Amino acid sequence: MNFPEGLLPPVWYVGAFLPLALVWLWCLRHLPWQRLKDPDIHHVWMGAIVALVLIWSLRAGVRPGLNFHLLGGAAVQLMFGPELAIAVLSVVLAAVTYNSHLSWSAYGLNAMVMVVVPVVYSRFHLWAVERFLPANFFVYLFGGTFFGAALSILVTGVVANLVFFLTGVYSAPYLLDNYLPYFLLLAFSEAFLTNTAVTLMVVYRPRWVSTFDDRRYLLNK
């Protein structure tokens, strides 16, 4: 999912910075600053950055750009909401770009695919779960968390494959045979780890999960 420098046409790298800038401006405008002022939440936010930098650094690949690694987009979105989640993953991507000596020219495109896509999808998925499914504790954990995390990384994989296909870097048959199917395995790992982490936090530290509402899921159940 990592787009290295020179693999795609330059217009894709340059053009991605404009929508990314708009997303960042939206995040800055709606960022829940009061929540970050809470020392407990601030420490968890910083800890999430450190943990995800380590996770993103553990990746495997088959050919240039065709890399695999867990994202954690759904997990941080469930914990902090979309604005803080995008901020977390943007910092993580910057740290990985610096530590791995990757090109900053590809940062915008990588951020749009690996940061914005999973967070936005996860937020939409949770909205759909809350809108159309019963307000049940297990619905939140499995419908919103487990399947939300799995589908968020699958959607990210589909978007990455589309970018490679539309730019003509790799053919559709090659991507369908050698890249896209592996996202099914990655999705299960992402879903399992996200569900486990969120379940533990909901049980022991519910304040760390901003999208979990005790009154909605536990009161009078």
- Find the CATH number of the domain harbouring 104: 1.10.1760.20
Cα separation, 123 vs 85, in Å, equals: 10
**End-to-end CA gap in the chain:** 42
Asked if the structure places residue 5 within a domain, the reply is no
**Which carries the bigger pLDDT value, residue 214 or residue 172?**
172
Residue 25: pLDDT band by 50, 70, 90 thresholds? very high
Residue 217: pLDDT band by 50, 70, 90 thresholds? confident
Task: Look up the pTM and report it.
Answer: 0.93
Asked if the structure places residue 161 within a domain, the reply is yes
How far is the CA of 201 from the CAs of 51, 79, 105, 186, 194, in angstroms? 15, 9, 37, 23, 11
Among 18-22, 61-65, 181-185, the minimum mean pLDDT is found in 61-65
Q: What is the pLDDT of residues 127-149, one digit of tens each?
A: 999 999 988 889 999 999 999 99
Asked if the structure places residue 2 within a domain, the reply is no
CB atoms within 10 A of CB 216: 13
Asked if the structure places residue 109 within a domain, the reply is yes
Q: What is the pLDDT of residues 93-137, one digit of tens each?
A: 999 999 887 789 999 999 999 999 999 999 999 999 999 998 888
- Give pLDDT, residue 66: 85
How far is the CA of 208 from the CAs of 49, 120, 216, in angstroms? 14, 20, 16
Q: Which domain holds residue 143?
A: 10-217
Domains in the chain, number: 1
**Which carries the bigger pLDDT value, residue 209 or residue 221?**
209
pLDDT above 80 for 61: no
Q: What is the pLDDT of residues 157-184, one digit of tens each?
A: 999 999 999 999 999 999 998 898 889 8
Cα separation, 3 vs 107, in Å, equals: 8
